[in-house]
């Protein structure tokens, strides 16, 4: 079952109180890469901070999502024009499994299932 993530503040507050209910669920949302950094100094593994919507590094509203220690292949890229690499500001339809939720940071730690180029 895939659940849509809503971005309104009220929904985030609801999720904060019920974070144990969403762990291991598969979620899907349209978003973009806010920040991309090498993981632990590696050149082919990355930590990606994802945000809702299309604003990339300018994302300021909504929950934050993070992929830790992933390669480009781990993203399971799909779509008509699959890029060789990805970067900050790129827009995708993310489908991922929720691993953890940090309520203090309103940060969802996700594991990629598929990433469709938009």
Letter string b/e over residues 23-36, b meaning 16 or more CB atoms within 10 A of that residue's CB: eeeebbbbbbbbbb
Question: Would you mind telling me the total number of residues written for the chain in this entry?
Answer: 118
Q: Average per-residue pLDDT in the chain?
A: 86
Task: Write the pLDDT tens digit of every residue in 55-76.
Answer: 999 998 888 999 999 999 999 9
Looking from the CA of 95 toward its CB, the CA atoms found within 13 Å total 12
Kindly report the backbone phi and psi dihedral angles of residue 84, in degrees, each rounded to the nearest multiple of 5, phi listed first: -75, -30
Domains, the chain: 2-117 (2.40.50)
Q: Which of 89, 49, 56, 95 has its CA nearest to residue 75? A: 95
């Amino acid at each position: 079952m895939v659940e849509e993530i809503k971005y309104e503040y009220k929904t985030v507050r609801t999720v904060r109180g019920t974070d144990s209910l969403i762990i291991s669920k598969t979620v899907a949302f349209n978003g973009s890469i806010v920040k991309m950094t090498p993981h632990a100094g590696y050149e082919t593994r990355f930590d990606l901070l994802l945000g809702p919507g299309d604003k990339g590094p300018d994302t300021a509203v909504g929950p934050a999502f993070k992929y830790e220690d992933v390669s480009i292949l781990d993203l399971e890229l799909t779509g008509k024009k699959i890029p060789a690499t990805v970067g900050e500001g790129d827009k995708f339809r993310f489908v991922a499994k929720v691993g953890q939720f940090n309520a203090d940071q309103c940060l969802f730690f996700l594991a990629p299932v598929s990433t469709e180029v938009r």
